[in-house]
Structure 1
Amino acid sequence: MSTFATDLDTTGLKDEADRLFRRKRLMNFGLPALILLYLVYVFFAFDVPGLAERASLEKAQTLISDSYSYKTHVTRDNRSGEVSVAIEGERKGRYDPGTGPAWVSLGADTVIDLEDGYVVTFGPENFVSFEIPGYGLVTAQPTRSGGVNPVFPAGDLPEWISTSKNRLDIRTEAGRLTVTRNRTEVFRYFFGWELFWFTLDSPYHGQNPGALMGLAFSGEAGEIWKDFWNNAMWRHKDVAWAIFETILMAFLGTFGAAIVALPLAFLAARNFTLLMPLRFAARRLFDFLRGVDALIWTIILARAFGPGPLTGALAILLTDTGTFGKIFSEALENVDEKQIEGVSSTGAKPLQRYRFGVIPQITPVLLSQLLYFLESNTRSATIIGAITGGGIGLMLTQAIITQKDWEEVTYYIVLILLMVFFMDWLSGWLRKRLITGDEGGH
């Protein structure tokens, strides 16, 4: 009988071990197989092959080069024959009539020396020629009715030349030429952000740092700052105000939500509100407010109140009221009742019990969450500002939509990153000073 029982125990243990190993094998092989299946589904559902096919390496290179360089446009209006030179093709960056950089020779024939043997010539009657080392001379003469009429050296066209009846596009390492019936244009890229400090009409344009320092110490510091601050192309004054609006949206939304959420949190805490229907209503209100994303609130409020930074601040306030309400109510439910009883024993009134027995206990949690959300909302305010029409987010969106001056996009992104880094440092410093009492605040 004992041997039979031992055999049963051994069989049971063996069956249990087999079941355990089967579960292990299922987890070790089944889960990776499910993940692989999901990735295969994503690969085709999101049309990854089509995305790779549509990707343009040429456009990517142009985008990257635009982010750290600028281009000067030499443009001839084929209807009037007028030739203009402008940085980034903007009116605010246009050279005075009859003037241009040293590599552009204006006259009866406009000669554009792109260096290394690349020379573009604007001749009479809309004629244009492009001397390309190693390839030859390309000419074109656009007319109102007959197209651009290009002439190429013998042989197959290289990939960097595209042509049709009404358009000629030549892209070389020295520069780019485009010809249409209405306009002939040459683009030449240079490293850096031209006119970032001063525009062409400023007397300080082209001055080296040493000369500027000398002028500043000689009494022209105010004028130098005025010309920089009011730069019509880079709009430093408008950018600074947009950064301020973004931080203000985050500040008003975050601290406004904390002010609204704190008294409501007492209604949601079971140790402060004994009526279950009241607690239930407060908690569902928090769920509703944080369940709707801030971007959705932004769209709704923009329709109700119109665009503007205040609309963005209200959107952050509504979402964070729900989040803070939940966090604060949970902190209230974990307070030490003995401290409240100690304050009550002194004859304190209910409001005094909350002020001296409850608030000091939850203050570290409140401040920690408040500072974290302030930092996070600074990033969110950038996106919200693009919808509500305020802050640096709007300027970034406008620069992206134009698809022209990507160095401005880079400038705004750099400023956004610096703003986020600063808010991260500031929140960390305040957290150490206010919560831990650390005077260093590294």
Structure 2
Amino acid sequence: MAFYKFRVRDMIIIALCAAFISLPYFLLMHTPTIMFLHGLMNQINFKPAEKSSDALDSGIEDGSLIGGDKETDLQKANVTDKFEELPGLEKLLIETSMPNKTLIITTLNSAWAKNNTMIDLFLASFQEGDNIAHLVDHLLIVALDQSAFDRCTAIHHHCYRLETEGVDFAAEKFFMSSDYLKMMWRRIDFLRIVLELGYNILFSDADIMWFRDPFPHLSPDADFQIACDHFNGNPTDVKNLPNGGFVFVRSNERTMNFYKFWFDSRLRHPGKHDQDVFNDIKNTKPFARMGLKLEFLDTVYFGGFCEVSQDFEKVCTMHANCCTGLERKLIDLRLTIADWRRFKSMTREEKKEHRIFWQAPKECLHSCKYKALRIMLYTLLVFVCIFCFLGSYWCIFGRPRWMPERIFTRRSPDC
């Protein structure tokens, strides 16, 4: 069988085929791309009516959203009204906070509050962790519905019922659904109020397992520190991919103005959740003019399923990120707790001789986004196989009449 003498055009066709084959593998391994595509497919417009985008633009231009000097009496009155809408909050903050006015906050709805589910794992991780059980005394659980509040008061001392008129946060909120977006932005608005009351916040999603005290690994100089889905090694590089599930914020003028700007920026980015909006605004000039000292947390200490921390001697928290569905998260987080217990039970000599690895993520790899990418991969592979079959068919039997001559160029009448 004679060999083809490939021309430049043939090599280009082969290169394109190779690109089609490699693209799905890139998508499967590249977390930022996965999250972008998943969010793009599921975006639902969320357009609150409190303020128009034109009003937001004017606020950015005149500095009212980025500076403390131009705050009007009307704005101060609005803050006072917010405090009146949250009765009992200030007293609860005093009881929960540490002497330096710092407290841990998580949010909870009834789907995550059911018996032997997410909130139980979250609280259990403090007991399983390395001398961090006392931190539960400084944990405020913000319940988003009455059922979650009732369960919270049964298992924890510091619970607050955050009401949102006309919205039911009780059921499980699927990623990027309309209610999910409302829940995320309600959280940002609540944290802003806590900052304005003068309290530092360490916010943690309930699907984060705590194993060590995170405070020694937080920068004493940064105003705002946020965990990462992917950490590039430079804590001040805004190119890091942030994750809003774990955030430490110091209460000062810069952070209060930033949270106002962040919350109002949802109007300029409809259909996006707080994490994506933060990723967009961190590179803007209004953000730079705030002077906010921003740092990203190293995934060696603050890991997750997106980028697992493999150092059991350093890991402080493990987040079930890059995973959709409550049941998938629960399965893998239980594996995470089991691995941590196994590590704690090992002697110092055993830890030196036998390195252990996390079993998770396991079930989370079967999330719908991965299934969609697998379908895409299989479709492209079928396309390539058909492409190669038609080329071989032409080589052996001659070009079919319906196939354009320009697709392949055969140099020899024999194959």
TM-score by length of 2: 0.24
Which structure would you say has the larger RCO, counting Cα contacts within 8 Å and 6 or more residues apart?
A: 2
- Of Structure 1 and Structure 2, the greater helix share is in 1
* Larger-gyration structure (1/2): 1
TM-score by length of 1: 0.23
